[in-house]
Amino acid sequence: MVPVVAVTSLRRNVTAGVALGLLLVPGCHAAEHRLPHAEAISLPFSDVPGAAVGEHVVETDHSVVGYRYPLLGAGHPLTEEVRTVMAARQTAFLEELSGSGRPELRQDVSLLAASQEVVGTRLTAVSTAGMRESRESSTLWFDAGSGAVLPWTALFRDEEAVERVHVLLADVLREDYHLPLADLPGVVGEAALRAAEEPGAVEEAEGDESSPDTAGAAGAGAARDGAPSGAFDAERAREVADAWSGSPLEDVAFSTAGGLTVRMDPTQVPGAGQVSDVMLPVEPQQAEELLSELGFHAREAALSGPDPDVFLEEGPSAEGGTLDCERLKCVALTFDDGPGEHTDALMDTLAEYDAQATFYVLGSLVEEFPEALERMAAEGHELGNHTWEHDDLSGMSAKDIEADMARTNAAVRDVIGVDPPSMRPPYGALNGTVRETVGLPIILWDVDTLDWRSRNTDEVAEHAISHSTSGSVVLFHDIHESSVRAIPDVLDELHRQGFHFVTVTELFEAGLEPGDVYTDARHE
């Protein structure tokens, strides 16, 4: 639940600080619009003082995908959710490729509000294929009190308020855009029909352009799915957002006037004219009656301008480790026995696909290639312990195993400042002593490319591509040039299929336990 604190009533005081001049969405000013219009408070993350963004573009022969997302501190829930939503949309885009042309998907994020209580973001995806262009937008709201990332429904006090705000949008479309009740689009039209059927609502005559009196239409609590009204918790907010899927309120922001502004596709609004977006207003007084406690905090944060301390508190996070693989097609590419002379070329290729990998390194090679380890850590890759010099641990005593693991951990720690989070035993050789002694999660694999045996680039690539599925851990060796040459084809094809390349720790997000053995995190 959102903590209850005092909020300023719009009935008493509505102010828009000097910062608002910087926050207006580019476009025409309200004075240039004959129809009702609202200016949304929004700012590119790249323009927010103290904020950091991650940005990547992956260009292939079949497509271009680009995305920018906020870096709000190590493990910040909003960064993870934004990246995961973008990744899911990217997968859907790639899975729908027709095989002709070179379509593009560009995703970006802007800031709607930022304070110690709440951070609001708008995610925008623009896809182009030939002369066709389509746009999707949605918003996410981080509640610092609960640590939850919530959909737009959490801005409203209950389901009655959600219903009511749709009726208010319907009123604007009917009164100012002269849309008949039967022509109102989607869920807005459904809400208006329910309002018109409420006792006391004015019946709309055939062809009459006047709108019914819907001032109290939602007052009976006729929620869309029939559930009783009440304060939202996080789970219920998501359920209600699912029930209202397709609502224009998925892209809701606060206006410079202190109300709400809702973006609609002009193709759904006949009479809107030659505009790129229809920005429907919900007046400040109307909005105040509908907002939740989180909604009041969000409105206050939007009107006050972003609090820079929100972005400076923890500093930018590493660019890896921010995807929820339980909801995505993820695969972990792992590389053993290095680092070596081909490892830098491998990382060059991984960078082209914004791919993170896990390197199980030999402690004896760390001093020879310290720059490679530094680069791995800087680019979001993960380093695992593969023993000091590739000895078979299953033939060693517990004391010798402990010494080997400690020596390798220390070598890695001396270069990158942290211990490896997992280990891989050479040859996959295990016994009870190994499991009880290594002190780290033990990562094996479910896709073995046998690259050390074949040394055939095409065979290695084909095996990895044909056997990988969501949750797979794929085994390569970066000491073999033939294996490194296979990675461009592996990345290209798995990327085209909508996979995301993550570290082992990220793949097993539910947690890894020391001494336990893991081969994959497949969803089946």
Print the SS3 string covering 144-208.
CCCCEEECHHHHECCHHHHHHHHHHHHHHHHHHCCCCHHHCCHHHHHHHHHHHCCCCCCCCCCCC
What is the value of pTM for the model shown? 0.86
Average pLDDT over residues 457-482: 98
Asked if 74 and 316 count as a contact pair (C-beta separation under 8 A), the reply is no
Residue 268 confidence (pLDDT)? 85
Average pLDDT over residues 158-164: 96
* 76, 386, 463, 477: the active-site residue: 477
Identify any residues that bridge with 109 across adjacent strands, giving them in sequence order: 123
Q: How many CB atoms lie within 10 A of CB 5?
A: 11
- The lowest-confidence range among 202-211, 240-249, 291-300 is 202-211
pLDDT in tens, 39-74: 999 999 888 888 888 899 999 999 999 999 988 876
* 336, 354, 404, 451: the active-site residue: 336
Residue 205 confidence (pLDDT)? 38
CA separation (Å) from 69 to 72, 256, 483? Answer: 9, 24, 32
Q: Which residue has the tokens 């997000």?
A: 509
Is domain 20-157+231-312 classified as CATH 3.30.565.40?
Answer: yes
- The lowest-confidence range among 100-109, 140-149, 223-232 is 223-232
Residue 207 confidence (pLDDT)? 43
Q: Which among 107, 41, 26 is positioned nearest to 70, based on CA atoms? A: 107
Show the tokens assigned to 505: 């720790």
Q: Specify whether 37 is catalytic.
A: no
The answer, yes or no, to whether residue 121 has pLDDT greater than 50, is yes
Residue 435 confidence (pLDDT)? 98
Asked if 16 and 38 count as a contact pair (C-beta separation under 8 A), the reply is no
Q: Number of H helices and number of E strands within the chain?
A: 17, 18
Amino acid making up residue 81: E
Q: Specify whether 242 is catalytic.
A: no
Helix (H) or strand (E) holding 138: strand 132-143
Amino acid making up residue 62: H
Is domain 330-518 classified as CATH 3.20.20.370?
Answer: yes
Residue 259 confidence (pLDDT)? 97
Q: In angstroms, rounded to a whole number, what is the distance separating the alpha carbons of residues 204 and 299?
A: 35
Q: How many CB atoms lie within 10 A of CB 144?
A: 18
Q: Which residue has the tokens 């009656």?
A: 289
Q: In angstroms, rounded to a whole number, what is the distance separating the alpha carbons of residues 162 and 231?
A: 12
Average pLDDT over residues 502-522: 93
Residue 230 confidence (pLDDT)? 45
Quick one: pLDDT band at residue 212, thresholds 50, 70, 90? very low
Q: Residue 63 contacts by C-beta under 8 Å, 6 or more apart in sequence?
A: 93, 94, 97, 102, 103, 104, 105, 496
* β-pair type (447-448, 473-477): parallel
Q: In angstroms, rounded to a whole number, what is the distance separating the alpha carbons of residues 521 and 324?
A: 12
Average pLDDT over residues 99-105: 89
Asked if 272 and 129 count as a contact pair (C-beta separation under 8 A), the reply is no
Q: Which among 386, 342, 335, 336 is positioned nearest to 356, based on CA atoms? A: 335
Helix (H) or strand (E) holding 337: strand 330-338
Q: What is the mean pLDDT of the chain?
A: 87
Residue 389, CB-side half-sphere exposure with 13 Å CA sphere: 3
pLDDT in tens, 414-453: 999 999 999 999 999 999 999 999 999 999 999 999 999 9
Asked if 398 and 389 count as a contact pair (C-beta separation under 8 A), the reply is no
Show the tokens assigned to 326: 């339980």
End-to-end CA distance of the chain, in Å?
A: 34
Quick one: pLDDT band at residue 346, thresholds 50, 70, 90? very high
The answer, yes or no, to whether residue 330 has pLDDT greater than 60, is yes
Q: In angstroms, rounded to a whole number, what is the distance separating the alpha carbons of residues 247 and 264?
A: 9
- What residue segments make up the domains of the chain, in order of their start? 20-157+231-312, 330-518
Q: Which among 448, 438, 429 is positioned nearest to 512, based on CA atoms? A: 438
Show the tokens assigned to 208: 């009459």
Residue 74 confidence (pLDDT)? 65
Average pLDDT over residues 389-403: 97
Show the tokens assigned to 268: 């759904």
Asked if 218 and 195 count as a contact pair (C-beta separation under 8 A), the reply is yes
> What angle (nearest 5°) sits at the alpha carbon of residue 470, between those of residues 78 and 94?
75
> What angle do helix axes 457-467 and 481-496 make, rounded to 10 degrees?
40
Show the tokens assigned to 429: 């050789």
Percent over 70 (pLDDT), the chain: 85
Q: How many residues does the chain have?
A: 524
pLDDT in tens, 302-316: 999 999 888 864 444
Print the SS3 string covering 227-294.
CCCCCCCHHHHHHHHHHCCCCHHHHEEEECCCCEEEEECHHHCCCCCCCCCEEEEECHHHHHCCECHH
Which own/partner pairs from 138-141 qualify as long-range (CB within 8 Å, at least 24 positions apart)?
Answer: 138/85, 138/250, 138/251, 139/112, 139/250, 139/251, 139/252, 139/253, 140/78, 140/81, 140/82, 140/85, 141/294, 141/298
Q: In angstroms, rounded to a whole number, what is the distance separating the alpha carbons of residues 144 and 120?
A: 11
The answer, yes or no, to whether residue 8 has pLDDT greater than 90, is no
